[in-house]
Amino acid sequence: MSTKLKDLVQKPELLSGGHRMCAGCGGPIAVRQVLMGAPEGKKLVIANPTGCLEVSTTIYPYTSWNTSFIHCGFENAAATLSGAEATYNSLKMQGKIEDDYNFVVFGGDGGTYDIGFQSLSGVLERGHRMVYVCYNNEAYMNTGIQRSSATTLGAWTTTSPHGKESSGKPQHRKDLTAIVAAHNIPYVAQASISHWRDLVRKAQKAFSVDGPAFINVMAPCHRGWRYPMEKTVELAKLAVQTCVWPLYEVENGQWNLTTKVRNKKPVEEYMKLQGRFGHLFRKDGDREVLDKIQEFVDHEWKKLLRMCGEEEE
């Protein structure tokens, strides 16, 4: 399939405009880019757990989806869609369905890293043929900006506030992409809305494999991260350039770096644009936390390079 822009823009729009996501939200950008990678000639069944994307695109009696759509509980999107996929396989074998279908979950980090992880892990272990996409904005944004296990160390959220006794979230984030890769499924990828051609290509691969596929997409939230809404793509790009969010894929167990970072920028260039880290940059800010974040990013980047057989420049 082509990743040329002139070809992609001619494809039907599966998530229509006019939805009620915030202006500048990274979520619908991620959805559109992933759906650009969906194969033509096949119908889609999309499952979406409760979250910003669900509540803003399916306000009764309206829908922004030009596909089949299932709203599920916060904790069971993967399980719900695996049931639909299994039913489809049975009906297809019986000759009761002729059309070809693909199955996709779009879940936020709260419904993927945390509450829905048991459901996701089960689907991966059982080998259902479906694509799971996490649009990752690093917190429970829909319910009030609470921390998730995807939230970065030092970040302010309403459940990890900063003050005299706290410098924001006290833990590093969980590496869910690597955890999913440990399930030994055909395809796993980490992507960013700032690198659209890379994401579309990864979506094309994910849809093509015979089994489960997973894509973890950086999709900034200006409301929770506290930055001007027009800087969403810029921040997503900085996350890649600072190696906070490296782009790679794991294809049948083979780790591959898909975007090489030259002249790696310091993490502070990415963090200082976000109000959720603003307390760390004050005169009385906790410099130790900034150093720990940089140390963590450097460590994880070197580990990834080793996994991919790359040498650090």
Cα 216 to Cα 41: distance, rounded to the nearest angstrom: 25
Which class in CATH covers the domain with range 5-307?
alpha beta
Tens of pLDDT along 189-234?
Answer: 999 999 999 999 999 999 999 999 999 999 999 999 999 999 999 9
Using the predicted structure, report yes or no on whether residue 86 has a pLDDT greater than 80: yes
- Please tell me the least confidently modeled range out of 9-23, 87-101, 124-138, 163-177: 9-23
Cα 171 to Cα 252: distance, rounded to the nearest angstrom: 31
What pLDDT is stored for residue 41 in this prediction?
A: 87
Give the bridge partners for 213, in sequence order: 131, 187
Contact by Cβ (8 Å): 42, 100: yes
Using the predicted structure, report yes or no on whether residue 14 has a pLDDT greater than 80: yes
What pLDDT is stored for residue 198 in this prediction?
A: 98
Average pLDDT over residues 152-162: 97
What pLDDT is stored for residue 8 in this prediction?
A: 83
What pLDDT is stored for residue 34 in this prediction?
A: 98
- Give, as one character, the DSSP assignment of residue 157: B
Cα 51 to Cα 109: distance, rounded to the nearest angstrom: 10
